[in-house]
Amino acid sequence: MANTSTQEVIEKGEKIDVMYITIESTIALASVIGNVLVVLVVAKNQGMRDPTFCFIVSLALADIAVGVLVIPLAVSSILSLLAIAIDRFLRVKIPTR
């Protein structure tokens, strides 16, 4: 049986959450920037107006929506769970008097 305290376990969980949020935010930012560049390049070049590039622009717009809408909602869900975990820890560690 390991002799670890609850505080050490919570601190490890918080570090993992911070790493996860940082990675997800980086992915969202790179996704939005990269796909906006794709849309701008196709819009600027007249030679890229055939159906193949229309599909590529459609995919880029869908990826922009994922980067703007889906990833931030996932991160906010993780932050909410983190806030609940901290609140529960403080309620146990420092009970009301």
Per-residue pLDDT, averaged over 14-36, amounts to: 87
Higher pLDDT, 20 or 37: 37
Task: Please report, as a single letter, which amino acid is at residue 35.
Answer: N
Residue 3 scores a pLDDT above 60: no
Using CA atoms in the order 65, 24, 21, 72, what is the torsion angle rounded to 10 degrees? 0
DSSP-derived letter for residue 48 is G
Task: Please report, as a single letter, which amino acid is at residue 77.
Answer: S
pLDDT for res 56: 92
Residue 91: pLDDT band by 50, 70, 90 thresholds?
confident
Residue 96 scores a pLDDT above 80: no
Span 39-66, pLDDT tens digits: 999 999 999 888 888 999 999 999 999 8
For the chain, the domains span: 12-86
